[in-house]
């Protein structure tokens, strides 16, 4: 019976994750215009209604944070998708979007919007940041893994970028010139994605799925959400042989260290060649 329940929860959580992160993706949503907006409002309303119902039901109370987490994630990525403060921030700073600085500030602004939404809704639910894995945990292990990833990636960034991420005319002089904007971009993006895809869900799913299944059910929507990106030289290799294993590793590290910080650093490091490749084509 327990195995059947785990399988049921697995597919239920996976379906909800695919609905939120794929159908209503903040990267490449299935719908556009009013259809997309109305769909987000309806689906978000359903998740919120389920959470409220479960919260005040003795039978289902232990589940209420899960639909609320999906409501939170959908709200955060929808705010990110529909609200672009960069259209005012960049001109005020004298920047254009088609530049390393413009891309970095735009990513920082959108990531902060998503993070703030998650933190606010998490607090309104009566939860502390600890429930999002924003805690010390095994900080030494997390920082060690993250910093090793940074060292390896930085040492190999030019050949990796040219081979896998369409890097053009790369030299250390060019890469070093972009380095502040690369760091802003990758740290902002990693913080946002690790929080919304993993930190928000891991602690809430594990009591019903256990660790490995939780890793899988949070990794699948994350990988598929990147299916339509155009920065990889070979999309199949990128998704199956690069993004999938490191996504599993980021979740494992968060579970192992009981903290989000190592996963953020590891994630940010792996994003560096992608961002360098994008900047080289501007």
- Residue 212 placed within a domain: yes
- Residue 98 placed within a domain: no
Rounded CA gap, 218 and 113, in Å? 22
Task: Supply the pTM of this predicted model.
Answer: 0.97
Are 263 and 250 a contacting pair, CB within 8 Å? yes
- Domains: count for the chain: 1
Q: Does residue 141 register a pLDDT over 80?
A: yes
Task: Please report which confidence band the pLDDT of residue 1 belongs to, taking 50, 70 and 90 as the band edges.
Answer: low
Put residue 94 in one of left, alpha, beta given phi > 0 → left and psi -120 to 50 → alpha. Answer: left
Region 172-198 average pLDDT? 98
Q: Does residue 32 register a pLDDT over 70?
A: yes
| HSE-CB of 239 using CA atoms within 13 angstroms | 14
- Residue 205 placed within a domain: yes
Own/partner contacts of 86-91, CB < 8 Å, gap of 24 or more, are: 86/110
DSSP 76-118: HHHHHHH--THHHHHHHTT--SSSHHHHHHHHHHHHHHHHHHH
Are 165 and 233 a contacting pair, CB within 8 Å? yes
- Residue 89 placed within a domain: no
Region 34-63 average pLDDT? 97
Are 222 and 196 a contacting pair, CB within 8 Å? no
User: Which of 124, 26, 133, 106 minimizes the C-alpha distance to 73?
Assistant: 26
Task: Please report which confidence band the pLDDT of residue 2 belongs to, taking 50, 70 and 90 as the band edges.
Answer: confident
Give how far Cα 5 sits from Cα of 1, 23, 68, 209, 242, Å. Answer: 6, 26, 20, 9, 32
Region 160-174 average pLDDT? 97
Rounded CA gap, 153 and 113, in Å? 28
- Residue 88 placed within a domain: no
CA dihedral 95, 100, 101, 107 (to 10 degrees): 110
Rounded CA gap, 276 and 89, in Å? 23
- Residue 204 placed within a domain: yes
**pLDDT number for residue 3:** 83
- Residue 77 placed within a domain: yes
Q: Does residue 157 register a pLDDT over 80?
A: yes
- Residue 96 placed within a domain: no
Rounded CA gap, 151 and 146, in Å? 9
Domain range enclosing 52: 2-83+110-280
């Amino acid at each position: 019976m327990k195995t059947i329940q785990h399988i049921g929860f697995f597919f239920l959580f996976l379906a909800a994750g695919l609905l939120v992160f794929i159908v209503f993706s903040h990267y490449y949503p299935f719908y556009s215009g009013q259809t997309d907006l109305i769909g987000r409002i309806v689906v978000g309303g359903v998740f919120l209604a389920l959470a409220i119902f479960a919260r005040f039901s003795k039978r289902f109370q232990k589940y209420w944070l899960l639909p609320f987490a999906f409501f939170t994630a959908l709200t955060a990525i929808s705010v990110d998708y529909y609200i672009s403060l960069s259209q005012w921030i960049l001109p005020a700073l004298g920047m254009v979007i088609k530049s390393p600085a413009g891309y970095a500030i735009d990513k920082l602004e959108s990531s902060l919007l998503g993070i703030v939404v998650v933190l606010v809704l998490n607090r309104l639910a009566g939860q502390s940041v600890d429930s999002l894995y924003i805690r010390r945990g095994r900080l030494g292990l997390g920082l060690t893994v993250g910093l090793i990833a940074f060292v390896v990636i930085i040492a190999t960034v030019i050949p990796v970028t040219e081979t896998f991420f369409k890097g053009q005319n790369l030299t250390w002089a060019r890469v070093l010139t972009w380095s502040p904007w690369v760091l802003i971009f990758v740290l902002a993006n990693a913080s946002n994605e690790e929080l919304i895809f993993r930190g928000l869900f891991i602690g809430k799913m594990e009591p019903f799925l256990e660790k490995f299944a939780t890793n899988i059910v949070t990794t699948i929507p994350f990988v598929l959400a990147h299916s339509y990106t155009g920065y990889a030289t070979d999309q199949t290799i990128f998704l199956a042989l690069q993004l999938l294993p490191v996504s599993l590793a980021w979740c494992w590290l968060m579970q192992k260290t009981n903290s989000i910080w190592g996963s953020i650093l590891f994630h940010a490091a792996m994003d560096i060649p992608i961002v360098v490749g994008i900047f080289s084509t501007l």
